[in-house]
Structure 1
Amino acid sequence: MLLQKDLNPALNTVTAYGDGFLEINRVRYEGAICFAPEGPVRNVAVRSAAQIDAAFLQDLIGLKQAPRDPLAFLDDEAPAVELPDNAPEVLLIGTGPRQVFLRPDVLRPLLALGIGIETMTTQAAARTYNILMSEERRVLALLLPGDPS
């Protein structure tokens, strides 16, 4: 299905999707991908939502361990990670043809840092990504294609 004409060719836009594939800027991808409005489209080694854990999401966003403050024990809520400058406001996770909710322990670390996480079907996530991207929001999409059955 064709989603929309290119609004800004400098930005990553979902241009089509179908059974088993996604198309970003008219380039076809057949596996799971991760991308933001700017930068590369990355292939990721996840085949299902069941394989997504907290460490995977933190690595996907680029969280780094914060320098250890010797007095950090005084502040129970001191974050153990540093947000990168380009950290997303929202992480959209397209879980394939069916919506799959991730476990709370997977979501909790990013939610504690103020990053919103939405899981939905991949088609809904693709459409939502295009809307948020066109609004100049800092969004990161992780899209798992549906099975081409």
Structure 2
Amino acid sequence: MRLNEISYNDAMPIDGYGPGFFRVGGQRHDGAVLVLPTGVSAWGAFEDRASLLKIADQIDVLFVGTGAEIAHLPTDFRKVMEDAGIGVETMASPAACRTYNVLLSEGRRVAAALLPV
């Protein structure tokens, strides 16, 4: 098996997660977070559409982590994101973290909006 070292350049990968927190770029963030290649901010969950609409021109895909288990997104939330041109992929938060890191390492324009596990 061949192993390759992953390089994120100046981007910040998700290092880990646990009950109620995420670790991004070596720093712990409690609660729901919005993770971009350039940094992390608190996210007010599905009611906080404004934070996501501000970055619509910076990303192609938004991974929405719904906590420990996958759950359906509110219909109006998905519609607002898609109307803004943001592709939305829903998954459990652990899977969203992994997928975000993989695409980030490829230099893709991605973000992750994550609810804690």
Q: What is the TM-score when the length of structure 1 is the normalising length?
A: 0.66
Residue 139 (structure 1) aligned to one of 99, 103, 110: 110
Report the 3-state secondary structure (helix = DSSP H, G, I; strand = E; otherwise coil) of the residue aligned with 1:10.
coil
Residues of 1 paired with 2:9 and 2:23: CA distance? 14
In structure 2, how many angstroms separate the alpha carbons of the residues matched to 1:89 and 1:114?
A: 8
* RMSD (Å) for aligned C-alpha atoms: 2.1
- Partner in structure 1 of residue 64 of structure 2: 93
Q: What corresponds to 1:117 in structure 2?
A: 88
Pairing of 1:1-149 with structure 2 (within 5 A): 7-8=7-8, 10-38=10-38, 40-46=39-45, 52-53=46-47, 56-57=48-49, 59-63=50-54, 85-86=57-58, 88-146=59-117
1:44–1:103 CA distance, 2 compared to 1 (3 A): closer
Query: 2: CA distance between counterparts of 1:96 and 1:144?
Result: 5
| Secondary structure, aligned partner of 1:114 | coil
Where does structure 1 differ by over 3 angstroms across 4 or more consecutive aligned residues?
Answer: none
The percentage of counterpart residues that share the same residue type is 35
Deviations 1:40-80 (A, max 9, x none): 3101233xxxxx14xx32x12234xxxxxxxxxxxxxxxxx
Q: Secondary structure at the match of 1:136?
A: coil
Q: Partners of 1:144 and 1:17 in 2: how far apart?
A: 11
Q: Secondary structure at the match of 1:109?
A: helix
Gaps of 5+ in 1: 47-51, 64-82
8 Å contact kept, 1:9–1:25: no
Contact preservation (8 Å) 1:35, 1:140: yes
Report the Cα offset of residue 135 of structure 1.
Answer: 1.4
Q: Deviations over 1:26-52 (max 9, x none)?
A: 1111211112112x3101233xxxxx1
Query: Which letter maps to 2:18?
Result: G
- One-letter amino acid matched to 1:45: G
Unaligned runs of 5+ in 2: none
Q: Which has the higher strand share?
A: 2
